[in-house]
Amino acid sequence: MTTRRLHLNAFLMGVGHHEAAWRHPRTEPARLNDVRHYQQLARVAERGRLDSVFLADGLALHGDVRHNALGGLEPLTLLSALAAVTDHIGLIATVSTTYNEPFHVARKFASLDHISGGRAGWNIVTSAGEAEARNFGIERPAHADRYARADEFLDVVTKLWDSWQDDAIVRDRDGGVYADTTRIHPIEHAGERFAVRGPLNTSRPPQGHPLLVQAGSSEAGKEFAARHAEAVFTAQQTLAEGREFYTDLKSRLARYGRSHDELLILPGISPIIGSTEAEAHRLERELQDLITPAYGLAQLSVLTGIELTHDALDRPLPDVSVETEGAQSRRKLVVDLARRENLTVRELLGRLAGGRGHRVVAGTPEQIADQIEEWFTAGAADGFNIMPPILPGGLEDFVDHVVPELQLRGLFRTEYEGRTLRENYGLPRPASRYAPSAVAARPEAVVAS
């Protein structure tokens, strides 16, 4: 039996995940749209043998750009430029199923997978925001509709990725035959929301399917993840909550005929690293002192649906319903945090500034490694989504000081296991559903034969 190994993803976000990162002397906010900044980050992550880098996304200017460094680059466009300067690291981009067409999404990820030699991953989101709907001229779809669309969307996209069998290209120059067209299939999808003939006009991606990633923690989100996702990014504040989520999500896999190890769960963690505890806490305090309360108040107002002003800062969070729509798992996390620790709004803002609800841990490299090891061995995580408070410094500190500690403990790889993102995540390469062997393996086909 092979040893169970951690998987680590570097969640890249501008000049850092802390909302005041752009004001800290260790960052350069002028590099927000400088591709070399992100290329440097990807190279650092690769030096640390991390599995992947990941870019979040939204389709509107979310948050108060007066007080934070927003307005960055579109993830898929950026990841191609990172593919060009790296060799091993996985490249995961967020793309919405609500405001896109499956043909485009299948094609762009297939292209990124070719360009990167099999390192593409898609973080599937359904775009909850009102502001996004307004940029596409539609009413914001209801939660259930978004997930129903996402389900069919995934069906179409994976069919398109399968539409060229792996052996379709024969490249017979003498005979003048480039492809065996009996191995390229129109998908003839005609569903409730999409009608797509296919085939895709890009040949099969090196990974078969680029890796499918998801981050929703609502009931519908968890079912979607159990059905489709191969890696899940999640926000969990306590070990108990982390274990509960982990056990819950893994237990849902069986009903889709999937085993426990076909989906990896990676909670977010923002590590504030110092060579001593005091140094770590000094960095944390520096960042907290740079917070502009107006920014956090605006964010928290959107999240809770309550208009919060400066007057509210030194009082407890007002009563907030956490049951609306069943979609607001992040809202529930934040309200639970405020209630559990009896925080004022100002204190809550301080707790959210580092990771927007993700867990923030300040300490020495050994202490950070302890936390990672504890969750990993206690059944709360298969790995972590690393969210450095400042970039590039915070990622460099993690790679240079925490990664070696995790390697020393035998928890993390010292060399990449494979060439593709799937290989490094230890996940199988899906066969094309149109390949004869795949068809023969289907129960209906067996009955018919």
Site for a copy of itself in 156-175 (CB under 8 A): 164, 169, 171, 173
Chosen residue from 40, 100, 344, 371 binding a copy of itself by CB under 8 A = 100
Q: Phi and psi dihedrals of 236, rounded to 5?
A: -135, 125
For the CA atoms of 153, 158, 163, 166, the dihedral, rounded to the nearest 10 degrees, stands at 170
Give the CA distances from residue 361 to residues 270, 283, 354, 370, 394, in Å, rounded to whole numbers and listed in that order. 6, 12, 10, 11, 13
Cβ closest to a copy of itself, residue 50 vs residue 160:
160
Cβ closest to a copy of itself, residue 291 vs residue 352:
291
Q: Which residues pair with 273 in a beta bridge?
A: 363
- Where in 266-285 is the site for a copy of itself (CB under 8 A)? none
- Residues 6 or more apart whose Cβ sits within 8 Å of residue 355: 17, 18, 235, 268, 269, 270, 387
The answer to whether residue 201 forms part of the interface with a copy of itself (CB under 8 A) is: yes
Q: How many residues bind a copy of itself (CB under 8 A)?
A: 74
**DSSP character string of 200-251:** -SSPPPTTSSPEEEE---SHHHHHHHHHH-SEEEE---SHHHHHHHHHHHHH
- Residues 6 or more apart whose Cβ sits within 8 Å of residue 267: 233, 234, 235, 236, 242, 245, 358, 359, 375, 380, 381, 384, 385
Give the CA distances from residue 295 to residues 207, 309, 352, in Å, rounded to whole numbers and listed in that order. 41, 11, 11
Cβ closest to a copy of itself, residue 112 vs residue 220:
112
Nearest alpha-carbon partner for 271 in 153, 378, 396: 396
Cβ closest to a copy of itself, residue 2 vs residue 173:
173
CA atoms in the 13 A half-sphere facing the CB of 389: 31
Chosen residue from 177, 240, 440, 441 binding a copy of itself by CB under 8 A = 177
Cβ closest to a copy of itself, residue 295 vs residue 384:
295
The answer to whether residue 87 forms part of the interface with a copy of itself (CB under 8 A) is: no
The answer to whether residue 71 forms part of the interface with a copy of itself (CB under 8 A) is: yes
Stretch that binds a copy of itself, among 65-73, 141-149, 267-275, 335-343 (CB under 8 A): 65-73
Chosen residue from 13, 89, 154, 184 binding a copy of itself by CB under 8 A = 184
Sign of the CA dihedral running 131, 151, 124, 385 = positive
Distance of closest approach, residue 185 Cβ to a copy of itself, in angstroms = 11
Cβ closest to a copy of itself, residue 138 vs residue 142:
138
Distance of closest approach, residue 392 Cβ to a copy of itself, in angstroms = 18
Read off the amino acid at residue 161: W
Cβ closest to a copy of itself, residue 177 vs residue 378:
177
CA 340 to chain centre: 27
The answer to whether residue 15 forms part of the interface with a copy of itself (CB under 8 A) is: no
Alpha carbons 250 and 265: distance in angstroms, whole number: 9
Stretch that binds a copy of itself, among 94-102, 273-281, 309-317, 341-349 (CB under 8 A): 94-102
Distance of closest approach, residue 248 Cβ to a copy of itself, in angstroms = 33
Distance of closest approach, residue 302 Cβ to a copy of itself, in angstroms = 15
- Where in 105-124 is the site for a copy of itself (CB under 8 A)? 107-108, 110-112, 114-115
Length of the chain: 449
Cβ-in-10-Å burial (0-12, 13-18, 19+) of 70 comes to: middle
- Where in 323-362 is the site for a copy of itself (CB under 8 A)? none
Nearest alpha-carbon partner for 95 in 118, 133, 126, 72: 126
- Where in 289-318 is the site for a copy of itself (CB under 8 A)? 290, 292
Tokens of 148: 């129903």
Distance of closest approach, residue 37 Cβ to a copy of itself, in angstroms = 11
Distance of closest approach, residue 97 Cβ to a copy of itself, in angstroms = 13
Alpha carbons 354 and 19: distance in angstroms, whole number: 6
The answer to whether residue 179 forms part of the interface with a copy of itself (CB under 8 A) is: yes
The answer to whether residue 197 forms part of the interface with a copy of itself (CB under 8 A) is: yes
The answer to whether residue 134 forms part of the interface with a copy of itself (CB under 8 A) is: yes
